[in-house]
Amino acid sequence: MIDTENTGNFMSLAFVKITGMNIFPLEQQLMLQLGCIGSQLKITHGGKTHIEIGRKTSKIYFDVANINQYNCILGIPFLQEQQAVLNFLNQMIQIGNDRIALLEEGHLAAITTRATVVKLMGNEVPQLRNRWFHKYSHWLGGIINRLPPLREVNHRILLIEEEKHYAYHLSRCTDALKQQLLDKI
């Protein structure tokens, strides 16, 4: 998603894991308040990866955040770095000489890492989701309707050890408040 009000570039942690992008911990944690899971969260990691839009490939820095509904949010830093021109009348973005239609379902972007290349094609996402769901159905299948095997458990808890010496001292109270303490006890 391209967000003209966002002051950063963000990628979801789930998408980072899928792409295998190298991330690193940030020296100073940042607070984030936008469409994230929870009311606000801290950004603790960041990373750089190559992103391809049209015919142009660029290395972009992303903050890793638990964002909701989107895998990747490209904000103002991306738009400034790419010198992008948004044309809302014709619903397109121009980066260099490339004109890319916004809201075009089949062409969004490609994000490249050393481990893998993931093409974000809008019409392929449901197919990928279904394929992964079937491939990993044994993990995503729900709750098993049986109890785990019965094991012997030692429920004995030793509260007092006869050999152990516990050091303690009696409460002390100032003479001025001693009578009030004795009345309460």
Q: What is the pLDDT of residues 8-24, one digit of tens each?
A: 888 888 888 888 888 99
Would you say residue 178 lies in a domain? no
Burial letters for 139-171: b for 16+ Cβ neighbours within 10 Å, e otherwise? Answer: eeeeeeeeeeeeeeeeeeeeeeeeeeeeeeeee
Would you say residue 180 lies in a domain? no
Domain region containing 70? 10-126
Would you say residue 31 lies in a domain? yes
Would you say residue 101 lies in a domain? yes
Would you say residue 4 lies in a domain? no
Would you say residue 131 lies in a domain? no
Q: What pLDDT digit, counting tens, does each position of 48-66 carry?
A: 988 887 778 888 899 888 8
Would you say residue 115 lies in a domain? yes
Question: What is the band of 115 on the pLDDT scale with cuts at 50, 70, 90?
Answer: very low
Domain count of the chain? Answer: 1
